[in-house]
């Protein structure tokens, strides 16, 4: 057992929470090494919790949470944004940044990571995704474009404000 973990974690363990996170993820993965195992996981959902929750690494309190899903066995795991960014390497942090930006000012723009996530989750249509990517960096929008953008921003904010 010790040997397995030593091999799996070779060079990767920086601290206890990282050790706990990698152990928990490995237990839920098909692959037996961290480098392969972490690639089995994709971002299934992100949300800001009303009540602080606990990361898989045992950190508490965590508000920015990611539900990860394993492509091979369908298992889901809830991990804090920080751990996803630092150890798993998925773009959750960029998505949270975009969400905070449009909450501060609804006329701000999302970024491509957030738009892709919204499309993957079917919160927006393919047309809306293409539209948004096209107008994202434009300063002067027509009234119609601006209204459509605000509508998309509002829809995305509603989707990440998940109550448990």
Q: Which is nearer to Zn ion, 57 or 98 (CB)?
A: 57
Binding mask 34-63 for Zn ion (x = CB under 5 A): ---------------------x-x-x----
Q: Which is nearer to Zn ion, 22 or 153 (CB)?
A: 22
68 binds Zn ion, rule: CB under 5 A: no
Shortest distance in whole angstroms from residue 116 CB to Zn ion: 24
Which residue, among 15, 14, 38, has the nearest Cα to 25 in the 3D structure? 38
Shortest distance in whole angstroms from residue 145 CB to Zn ion: 39
The long-range contacts involving 20-23, CB below 8 angstroms and separated by at least 24 positions, are 20/56, 20/57, 20/58, 21/55, 21/56, 21/57, 21/79, 21/83, 21/87, 22/87
| Binding residues with Zn ion: total (CB under 5 A) | 5
Helices (H), 9-111: 16-27, 34-37, 81-83, 92-104
Shortest distance in whole angstroms from residue 36 CB to Zn ion: 21
Cα torsion 29, 34, 40, 43: sign: positive
Binding mask 73-92 for Zn ion (x = CB under 5 A): -------x--x---------
Shortest distance in whole angstroms from residue 90 CB to Zn ion: 13
CA–CA distance, 67 with 102 (Å, rounded to integer): 22
Beta-bridge mates of residue 69 = 42, 76
Q: Which is nearer to Zn ion, 57 or 152 (CB)?
A: 57
Residue numbers at the binding site for Zn ion (CB under 5 A): 55, 57, 59, 80, 83
């Amino acid at each position: 057992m010790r040997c397995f973990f030593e091999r799996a974690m070779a060079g990767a363990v920086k601290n206890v929470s990282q050790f706990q996170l990698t152990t928990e993820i490995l237990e839920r993965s098909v692959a037996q090494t961290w480098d392969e195992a972490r690639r089995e996981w994709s971002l299934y959902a992100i949300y800001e919790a009303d009540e602080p929750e606990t990361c898989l690494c045992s950190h508490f309190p965590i508000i920015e949470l990611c539900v990860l899903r394993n492509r091979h066995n369908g298992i889901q795991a809830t991990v804090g944004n920080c751990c996803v960014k630092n150890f798993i390497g998925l773009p959750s942090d960029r998505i949270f940044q975009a969400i905070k930006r449009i909450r501060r000012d609804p006329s701000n723009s999302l970024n491509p990571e957030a738009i892709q996530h919204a499309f993957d989750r079917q919160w927006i249509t393919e047309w809306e995704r293409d539209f948004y990517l096209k107008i994202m960096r434009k300063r002067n929008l027509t009234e119609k474009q601006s209204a459509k953008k605000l509508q998309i921003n509002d829809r995305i904010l509603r989707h990440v404000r998940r109550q448990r």
